[in-house]
Amino acid sequence: LVKDKLIDGVSEIRDESDRDGMRVVIELRRDAMSEIVLNKIIPHPIRETFSPISDVWGKEISFQSGTHYHVCAPSGTGKTTLSHILYGLRHDYDGVLLNNGKVAKDWKPDDWSVYRQQTISIIYQDLKLLEEYTALENIQIKNRLTNFFSEKEIVENAEKLGVSYLLNKSCKTISRGERQRISILRALSQPFHFLILDEAFSHLDEGNTKKAIALINDICDKNKASVISCNLFEDAHFNYQQKLKL
């Protein structure tokens, strides 16, 4: 896929497999840039009710990798809808979505699959964890697609969020706040140029929120990646270069 230029921005692929298991490392070029353009997007569910003064709906707006964005979205204005459109889960909208210059509605499922593995990740508001699986298994479902982290690195990241002792527990037995931290770890366990946060810290106290922000900042800095944070209210979680209102 890299040789055929179906995947951009990869600097190296190497096999680090050993007797403990298979590990293929994919490294992104630090100078690789990605762009998402929304050209007069209006979601069908809010076509009659969206605000004409919205900075996003019905406008042309560009998200550039390496720039942090905050989207302030009062309830009912389409916060989660925006997150799902960017991630390719919803296609019920007027207008044009361009991913690196390509029209998203022309993409096949395989195109979206590659894009979600290499370019964009998301922390869902409703978490979307598989409750019958352990916390580690939920993280590995994402991580094994690219072998972005070793299991040792996953454990180290879990220690930074204070949930390493939960990794072998079923997700249905842990608290909402603990599950939210596992969801954050899962989203970070892949290459990405854009990380979408949909109310990503809604069940965390101040201390755990600071730990999560520190880890996200560290990994985003290494990837030269963007945060697109969608919240009900304004916040100062990240060094936002652009603030938008739905």
pLDDT, tens digit (0-9, with 9 covering 90-100), for 235-244: 999 999 999 9
Least confident range of 9-23, 46-60, 91-105: 9-23
Q: What is the mean pLDDT of residues 3-16?
A: 59
How much is the pLDDT for 118? 94
pLDDT tens by residue, 187-196: 999 999 999 9
Cα–Cα distance for residue pair 194/82, rounded to 1 Å: 14
Average pLDDT over residues 85-100: 98
End-to-end CA distance of the chain: 37
Tell me what pLDDT residue 31 has: 52
Residue 33: the pLDDT is 82
| Averaged pLDDT for residues 69-89 | 96
Residue whose tokens read 């840039």: 33
Question: Once rounded to an integer, what is the mean pLDDT over residues 214-235?
Answer: 96
Tell whether pTM > 0.75: yes
What's residue 22's pLDDT? 61
Q: What pLDDT is recorded for position 202? A: 96
**Sign of the torsion formed by the C-alpha atoms of 55, 58, 59 and 64:** positive
Confidence (pLDDT) at 15: 72
Handedness of CA 188, 191, 197, 198 (dihedral sign): negative
Question: pLDDT for 46-67, tens place per residue?
Answer: 999 999 999 999 999 999 999 9
- Spatial distance between the Cα atoms of 182 and 157, rounded to a whole number of angstroms: 10
Residue 50, pLDDT score: 92
Residue type present at position 33: M
3-state secondary structure of 121: strand
pLDDT digits (tens, 9 = 90+) for 146-162: 999 999 999 999 999 99
Of 11-25, 26-40, 83-97, the range with the lowest mean pLDDT is 11-25
